[in-house]
Amino acid sequence: MKKILFVCTGNTCRSPMAEALFTDIIESEGYDDKFLCDSAGVYAFEGDSASPEAIEAMKYYGLDISKHCSKTLDYEMIKDAYIILTMTRDHKRMILDVYPEAADKVFTLKEFADYDEADWDISDPFGYNDKIYSACAEELELALLKILDKL
């Protein structure tokens, strides 16, 4: 199976939401035998849970990320990934600064979804209210639906 790795900063908001949403999308489209989703953070604290707001935002989609445990991005994850989708250009840059050999498989999520370059970043909802998290989840879902055909 090909591993899709979603990367953000702390692996408590955007990337676990993207992981849950895309896992649901590939399952509903019958691709769960071809792809596996995972997530990590460039500055994650190992074992942190998803933020309460991210958990609530995913409930709207019928998804439960309450058991999510954050992971720090490492070489093995980079090596094992088929594609790495970051939430921002800065995340992409950080990865490529340390792992330049991964250049052919690291994209921002919205870059891979063919958005205009000016719109490649997904803002961090951390510290904001449920409304901002819901808007972030909607933004993620729209971008994720666009990438399914590319994989």
pTM recorded for the entire structure: 0.97
Q: What's the pLDDT at 52?
A: 97
Which residue among 32, 48, 89, 124 is the active-site one? 124
Number of structural domains (the chain) is 1
Residue 90 is a catalytic residue? no
Q: What's the pLDDT at 149?
A: 80
Using CB atoms within 10 Å of the CB of residue 11, give its burial: 0 to 12 exposed, 13 to 18 middle, 19+ buried.
buried
Residue 8 is a catalytic residue? yes
Which residue among 13, 14, 38, 121 is the active-site one? 14
Which residue among 8, 13, 37, 136 is the active-site one? 8
- Here the CATH number for the domain that contains residue 66 is 3.40.50.2300
Please state whether 44 falls in left (phi above 0), alpha (psi between -120 and 50) or beta: beta
- 46-86: pLDDT as tens digits: 999 999 999 999 999 999 999 999 999 999 999 999 999 99
Domain that residue 130 falls in:
2-150
Q: What's the pLDDT at 8?
A: 98
Q: What is the mean pLDDT of each run of 10 residues along the chain (151 residues)?
A: 97 98 97 96 96 97 98 97 98 97 98 95 93 97 92 83
